[in-house]
């Protein structure tokens, strides 16, 4: 029998992370869980460690190290803390695939280290490619590392490309649900509350991506993610709103043929495919029934109301560190919105102003991304303070 596939899950306590644990648990003969990591949720990390018995756990928040260490003293599990540990554990010889399921810019460094170490990447952390797509994909090419998408739209594109890798793509269409405010006017959006924005119609996800879905920034980030994953020009990437979230995305080839991947909205499927590719394993996930969906509909996104989508295109066209600045601003403003410090519509306004005022660096190296992230965060925080709800 061949060796089991050793998996490290960065961000096992999150929405993607917990679903990934379910997938891995279902195929004990195929996967071996080597590493799980959390940011601050020590209780859940301890519970997961006891249940799934990984080799190693990391709690990134250093003040929680002792709590995790004490709780696991009877288990034969290594316990580490701090963000540098995230980078070290992915290099372990037992790890074959690193699932990057942590949220935000924090995913960049451990992903780069995992690629350096030659590990296959199952990428959920889209911000990594948004911030430094050129650097990440170049390093992956140099190291001969495959990056398999977990994001449902990118998994859909990837699934449509299986058997077609030699055929050039003419265009792709990323589908978007439109979020909870599809069809709303700017006036209606002025008084939107946190709880309304956190209610996604089709997907249950972490707080940051749920807000990004409500502002269409998530689709903007996905456009940039697609550019790097599939080596596309900006004009080859289009977005279409599809409120039922059944068609997960579409590839158009040079002969005009279009392929779409469909299914019920359930992240376990793309997580599993990223971990089992090129194989498909039998699942008991609920199946899509056409009769429950007599009409699948498609419409244009409202780019005037949801400005973040065009900001992402602008960042992609500018290149350099523009998308890094936009991402940093967005992380700051989403947190501020979740803390009820700024109104919903300020999210895109602060993103725009931060991106326009942060100097962009051409042909950036890693340190340029670190510096740009820092400058853009400071600029966005300044604007948050200025525009704070009193
Ligand atoms: P969650 O917020 O649910 O989970 C995030 C995970 O990352 C948690 O384990 C959290 O730990 C950990 N974490 C957060 N910040 C840090 C940090 N600074 N350092 C180390 N660990 C950290 O997010 P999701 O699971 O929803 O999303 C994860 C990624 O996957 C995002 O990039 C998102 O865009 C992408 N994605 C998610 C989808 C979904 O359905 N949820 C769909 C497609 C993509 P803790 O909670 O312990 O603090
Ligand atoms: Mg997605």
pTM beyond cutoff 0.75: yes
The string of pLDDT tens digits covering residues 3-33 is 999 999 999 999 999 999 999 999 999 999 9
101 lines ligand 1 (CB under 6 A): yes
Closest residue (by CA) to atom 7 of ligand 1?
102
Question: What is the H or E stretch that residue 310 is in?
Answer: helix 308-318
pLDDT of residue 287: 97
Instruction: Transcribe 43-107 into DSSP letters.
Output: HHHHHHHHHH--SEEEESSGGGHHHHHHHTTTSS-EEEESHHHHHHHTT-TT--EEEE---SGGG
pLDDT tier for residue 2 given thresholds of 50, 70 and 90: confident
CATH class of 319-390: mainly alpha
Second-level CATH architecture of 5-149: 3-Layer(aba) Sandwich (3.40)
Residues with CB under 5 A from ligand 2 (ion): 151-153
CA–CA dist 174, 381 (Å, integer): 31
The string of pLDDT tens digits covering residues 117-128 is 999 999 999 999
Lookup: tokens for 300: 């244009």
pLDDT of residue 387: 86
- Kindly list the domain boundaries of the chain, sorted by start residue: 5-149, 151-266+290-305, 319-390
pLDDT tier for residue 171 given thresholds of 50, 70 and 90: very high
pLDDT of residue 18: 98
Sign of the alpha-carbon dihedral angle for 51, 56, 60, 65: positive
| Sequence-distant (≥ 6) Cβ neighbours of residue 88 within 8 angstroms | 80, 113
Of 9, 10, 11, best ligand 1 pocket probe by most atoms within 8 Å of the beta carbon = 11
CA-to-CA separations, 213 to 81, 177, 334, in angstroms, rounded: 31, 8, 11
CA–CA dist 97, 8 (Å, integer): 6
The string of pLDDT tens digits covering residues 37-51 is 999 999 999 999 999
Closest residue (by CA) to atom 21 of ligand 1?
39
203 lines ligand 1 (CB under 6 A): yes
CA–CA dist 9, 133 (Å, integer): 21
The string of pLDDT tens digits covering residues 216-264 is 999 999 999 999 999 999 999 999 999 999 999 999 999 999 999 999 9
The string of pLDDT tens digits covering residues 342-382 is 999 999 999 999 999 999 999 999 999 999 999 999 999 99
Q: What values do phi and psi take at 49, rounded to 5? A: -60, -45
């Amino acid at each position: 029998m061949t060796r089991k596939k050793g998996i490290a899950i960065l961000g096992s306590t999150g929405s993607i992370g917990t679903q990934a644990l379910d997938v891995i648990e279902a195929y004990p003969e195929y996967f071996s869980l080597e590493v799980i990591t959390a940011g601050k949720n020590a209780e859940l990390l301890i519970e997961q460690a006891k249940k799934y018995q990984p080799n190693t756990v990391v709690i990134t928040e250093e003040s929680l190290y002792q709590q995790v260490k004490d709780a696991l003293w009877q288990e034969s599990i290594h316990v580490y803390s701090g963000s540098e540990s995230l980078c070290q554990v992915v290099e372990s010889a037992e790890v074959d695939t690193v699932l990057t399921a942590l949220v935000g810019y924090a995913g960049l460094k451990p992903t780069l280290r995992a690629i350096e170490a030659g590990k296959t990447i199952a990428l959920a952390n889209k911000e990594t490619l948004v911030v430094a797509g050129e650097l990440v994909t170049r390093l992956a090419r140099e190291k001969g590392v495959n990056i398999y998408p977990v994001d449902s739209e990118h998994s859909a594109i990837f699934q449509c490309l299986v058997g077609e890798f030699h055929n050039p793509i003419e265009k792709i269409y990323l589908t978007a649900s439109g979020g909870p405010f599809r069809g709303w006017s700017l006036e209606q959006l002025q008084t939107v509350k946190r709880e309304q924005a956190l209610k996604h119609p089709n997907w249950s996800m972490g707080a940051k991506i749920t807000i990004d879905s409500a502002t269409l920034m998530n689709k903007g980030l996905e456009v940039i993610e697609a550019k790097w994953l599939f080596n596309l020009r900006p004009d080859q990437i289009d977005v279409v709103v599809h409120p039922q979230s059944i068609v997960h995305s579409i590839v158009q080839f040079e002969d005009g043929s279009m392929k779409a991947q469909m299914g019920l909205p359930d992240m376990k499927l793309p997580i599993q495919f990223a971990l089992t590719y090129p194989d498909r394993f039998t699942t008991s996930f609920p199946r899509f029934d056409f009769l429950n969906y007599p009409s699948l509909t498609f419409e244009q996104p409202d780019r005037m109301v949801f400005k973040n989508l065009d900001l992402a295109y602008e960042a992609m066209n500018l290149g350099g560190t523009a998308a890094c600045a936009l991402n940093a601003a967005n992380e700051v403003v989403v947190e501020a919105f979740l803390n009820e410090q700024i109104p919903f519509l300020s999210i895109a306004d602060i993103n725009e102003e931060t991106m326009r005022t942060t100097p962009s660096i051409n042909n950036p190296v890693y340190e340029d991304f670190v510096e740009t992230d820092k400058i853009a965060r400071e600029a966005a925080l300044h604007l948050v303070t200025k525009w704070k709800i009193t």
